Amino acid sequence: MFERWEKTGTVTVAGRKAHVNRQTFYNGKGRFEAGGYAALASHAPKQPRRVSAAIEPQPGWGKQRIADELVKGNSWVPLASPNTVKRFRQDAGRGSEAEATAKKGGRNPLPGAQKRPGNP
C-alpha cells in the first residue's frame, strides 16, 4: 500500500488497491514515516489471547470449569474466557467434537438416545 502511495501520491488509489480504508492508511502512516518499511514489518498483527499450554485440566472438565480454575490461579483476575479455552483445546486437539455436535443439535453421541421433540 505504501509503495503505491509513494508512486502515485494518492491515498485513495493506494488504499483501494490494498483493499483498506483511509483510516487504516493513516494509522500506519506515522510508523512508515518514522521508520520506513522496517517499522511496518515490526508491527505484529493482532492475535486472540491464547492460554498457556501448561494447563492440565482433569478429565470431564469443560471450558467453563477450566476458565474458572484459571481465574482462581490468577488471583481472581480473569485470564481467558470459556470460548478462548475452547479454541485452545481445539488447537491442541483436545476438544470433544461429539459433545460440540450434540449441543448444536447434531447427531447424538449416545447410541439409542433420542432427540427432543421438535428438533429435526
Mean pLDDT by 10 residues, the chain (120 residues): 88 87 87 84 58 64 86 80 85 64 52 55
Grid coordinates given for 68:
474458572
Question: For residues 42, 45, 51 and 53, what is the CA-based torsion angle, rounded to 10 degrees?
Answer: -60
Q: Would you say residue 37 lies in a domain?
A: yes
Q: Is residue 53 part of a domain?
A: no
Residue 15 lies in a domain: yes
Residue 119 lies in a domain: no
CB distance 36 to 28 below 8 Å: no
Domain count, the chain: 2
pLDDT recorded at residue 49: 54
Does any domain span residue 54?
no
Contacts of 99 (CB under 8 A, 6+ apart): 109
* pLDDT score at 106: 53
In a domain, 111, yes or no: no
Residue pointed to by grid coordinates 512508515: 32
**pLDDT for residue 1:** 83
- Phi then psi for residue 30, to 5 deg, are -60, -45
Residues 67 and 97 both lie in one domain = yes
Q: Give the model's pLDDT for residue 98.
A: 46
Question: Which cell is 42 given?
Answer: 515490526
| Rounded CA separation 69/71 (Å) | 5
Boundaries of domain holding 95: 63-103
Are 37 and 67 members of one domain? no
